[in-house]
């Protein structure tokens, strides 16, 4: 099943983080490139013509996050949104991060 079709599973810890070569297995399923940061987060920068368009995008990301119960860190500035995903409960990456990334990719 495609990542974008999956639903996040509530995570309160107790599962191993996705690491090493397994991260590549997931990033390769994403339709655009997300950078892997410190081996435990994925990040993508989105650009827009102005602040308002960036804010609109961030609000659509927020809707996905609330629907999925899994929340990215968002940096919003003029014409730019940086989305960082990791699973706080395990201080690393879980499948939830890649599911939300795939759904965010489908916004643009
Ligand atoms: C039970 C519920 O799934 C958790 O509290 C969720 C909420 N959103 C979350 N978002 C992220 N990014 N990491 C988490 O560990 C997390 N935990």
Mutate to test the pocket of ligand 1, among 7, 8, 9, 11 (most ligand atoms within 8 A of CB): 11
Can you give the CATH number for the domain in which 81 is found? 3.30.1360.20
Q: How far apart are the first and last CA of the chain?
A: 21
Task: Give the integer Cα–Cα distance in Å for 77 and 63.
Answer: 19
87 confidence band (pLDDT: 50, 70, 90): very high
Mutate to test the pocket of ligand 1, among 7, 13, 18, 69 (most ligand atoms within 8 A of CB): 69
Give how many domains the chain has, as a whole number. Answer: 1
- pTM above the 0.80 mark? yes
Distance 15 CA to ligand 1 centre (A): 13
Q: What is the pLDDT of residues 67-79, one digit of tens each?
A: 999 999 999 999 9
Q: What is the pLDDT of residues 4-18, one digit of tens each?
A: 999 999 999 999 999
Domain region containing 72? 35-108
108 confidence band (pLDDT: 50, 70, 90): confident
Ligand 1, atom 2: nearest CA belongs to which residue?
Answer: 10
């Amino acid at each position: 099943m495609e990542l974008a079709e999956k639903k996040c599973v509530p995570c309160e810890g107790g599962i191993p983080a996705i690491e090493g070569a397994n991260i590549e297995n997931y990033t390769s399923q994403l339709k655009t490139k997300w950078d892997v940061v410190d081996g435990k987060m994925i990040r993508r920068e989105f650009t827009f013509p102005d602040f308002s368009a960036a804010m609109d995008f961030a609000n659509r990301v927020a809707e996905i996050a609330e629907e999925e119960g899994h929340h990215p860190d968002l940096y919003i500035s003029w014409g730019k949104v940086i989305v960082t995903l990791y699973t706080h409960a395990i201080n690393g990456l879980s499948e939830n991060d890649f599911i939300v990334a795939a759904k965010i990719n489908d916004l643009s």
